[in-house]
Structure 1
Amino acid sequence: MGKGGMSHSVDDEEVNMAVWLLGVNNLKIQPFKLPPVGPHDVRVRVKAVGICGSDVHYLRTMGCAGYVAKEPLVIGHESAGIIEEVGSDVNHLVVGDKVALEPGVSCWHCNFCKEGRYNLCPDMKFFASAPFHGSLANQIVHPADLCFKLPDNVSLEEGAMCEPLSVAVHACRRANIGPETNVLIMGSGPIGLVTMLVARAFGAPKIVIVDVDDNRLSVAKKLCADEIVKVSTNIQDTAEEVVQINKAMGARVDVTFDCVGFNKTMSTALSATSAGGKVCLVGMGHNEMTIPITPVTAREIDIIGIFRYKNTWPLCLEFLRSGKIDVKPLITHRFGFSQEEVEEAFETSARGGNAIKVMFNL
């Protein structure tokens, strides 16, 4: 994986195709040349790719969270597939293995990598984070140690869901979720819902989820939310809504996950969290926020940031294998790999509504 064009295609009979972001609202299926398979790499035939909010952001604005696509970019980073070729030094995978792909290749030399916090590596090469190409393609070449073999009872679609699930696992680890932690979640979009599932798997006894959308709240309630609270987008309503939230919790709010990242959601999170609690900012809705921070110090609220994840795939796969987490209800729409379906899939994801996770089956 690297910048721009690649060297010769691996398979001469078959032209490897990928979805390229060529400009604002401009996606095209075009040839994608792969690099040769190195001794520690594998070639994967990609079978399932989910659409993330950041993919939609790239499509609408050519950038996300400070990364800007200045040249054509292959999109997609939530993926799973089947091993087609293994490098000479790879001995834990064989051709035919089904794998989930961790999308970030870190340097392994910097202090962050050496400390095990490789998600903070300044030289991270991450799928579809400009200028590095993504995985919405027939085939890709990827380091073997970032390909995790799927248990027999875990599907390729579920394998692709390990990526959003990993964000939630990393957030719950950072916030020390356990059997004595009451959890509040702002936002019941895809990341809010997986955070709820993971918090429950980590043992959280009480989970309240908050959103502006009735449909998403009803999905959250069906999955495992103990209580749901509908709120407005009006920041003037915050004080009244905090009373509602605390009533729904019926106990102290130990940890709040803001899975939206707006002024209002963060202000609500800080007000609703009990003294001595934590607020974990997961969503990145606004690049900058204006929030009432001074009262937070008097109540000793910790604010935690999370960025991507580290060492999460084995746990995600175990949660899926054991049935402790079921992500299948989150996959609401499926599309094939044609120009028309690619455009329709991204429109469906961007519209929201009853779409939670939109998945490509290649």
Structure 2
Amino acid sequence: PESKAGRYNLCPHMEFFATPPINGALTDYVTIGADFAHPIADSVSYEAAALFEPLSVGIASAQKAGITAGSRVLIAGAGPVGIVTTQVAKAFGATEVIVSDIDAARRDVALKFGATTVIDPRESDIRSLAVDAFIDASGATAAVIDGIYAVRPAGTVVLVGMGADEIPLPVPIIQNRELMLTGVFRYANTWPIAAALVAAGRVDLDSMVTARFSLEQSQEALVADRIPGSIKAVVIVAEGD
């Protein structure tokens, strides 16, 4: 029923690479269903196309958050998902995109990718921001709770980051402000949007690639995010294929 309704990401029979029992895609060739194969413009690099996956998370998050022209948005976490969501928020029309992260280097990266303001959550009064939407891309319990307080009445909270299985929520704030709180589980129907945004230059994925590895170096690629300054690593099976 979920797939027929267009929510195939919530289908209990969904198969996803690297989700047991489905193997990952670190191999020379894989096959996919034709419905999930989308053309890309000649102007879009293969590296950028490979990052349509995290871009899709950002698109799904922005859609859930209801971001539109003039929105004020708070994003917690300036990792790859936070950075791509920042770009999508701007592409969707947000005029203020505030990104919080405890790491100064990551805050600097967020500024380069379109954040209008960056803040250290340990030194700022996040709860007084009164934003239209809060998107958590950190998974940190403190960030989630502060972010909920930061949303204006009738605003939206979107949980993307994976953190603790259970956290205490400020229920009176959610009730009294009539906040909409939801999660994001991957995405659905985002690939054409991703292709259009990148082809139009509204989102820059090429600059997010900070390291390249061969298939034989896959293990190194998987831990590349531990390198300071790293955003996204790609594994190149065969150049130009």
Please report the TM-score for the alignment, with normalisation by the length of structure 1: 0.63
2:179 to 287, 296, 301: 301
Q: How does 1:19-168 map to 2 (within 5 A)?
A: 111-168=1-58
1:206 to 96, 103, 110: 96
1:176 to 53, 60, 66: 66
8 Å Cα contact 1:262/1:289 also seen in 2: no
Greater strand content? 1
Q: Which runs of no fewer than 5 residues in structure 1 stay unpaired?
A: 1-110, 247-251
2:221 to 345, 352, 356: 345
Q: Which runs of no fewer than 5 residues in structure 2 stay unpaired?
A: none
Q: CA deviation at 1:180?
A: 2.7
- Aligned partner of 1:356: which letter? I
User: Match of 1:359, SS?
Assistant: strand
Q: Which moved more, 1:284-293 or 1:209-218?
A: 284-293
Residue 125 of structure 2 corresponds to 241
Residue 163 of structure 2 corresponds to 285
In our comparison, the structure showing a higher alpha carbon Rg is: 1
Residue 359 of structure 1 corresponds to 234
8 Å Cα contact 1:185/1:208 also seen in 2: yes
Q: CA deviation at 1:352?
A: 5.0
* Paired-residue identity, %: 36
The separation in 2 between residues aligned to 1:331 and 1:168, in whole angstroms, is 16
- Aligned partner of 1:325: which letter? V
Question: Relative contact order (C-alpha < 8 Å, sep 6+): which is higher?
Answer: 2
Q: CA deviation at 1:164?
A: 0.4
Residue 208 of structure 2 corresponds to 330
Deviations, residues 175-221 of structure 1 (Å, cap 9, x unaligned): 22100311110000000011110111111111110001011100111
Cα-Cα RMSD: 1.5
- Paired positions, count: 237
8 Å Cα contact 1:263/1:291 also seen in 2: no
Residue 190 of structure 2 corresponds to 312
The separation in 1 between residues aligned to 2:60 and 2:140, in whole angstroms, is 21
8 Å Cα contact 1:183/1:256 also seen in 2: yes
Residue 73 of structure 1 corresponds to none
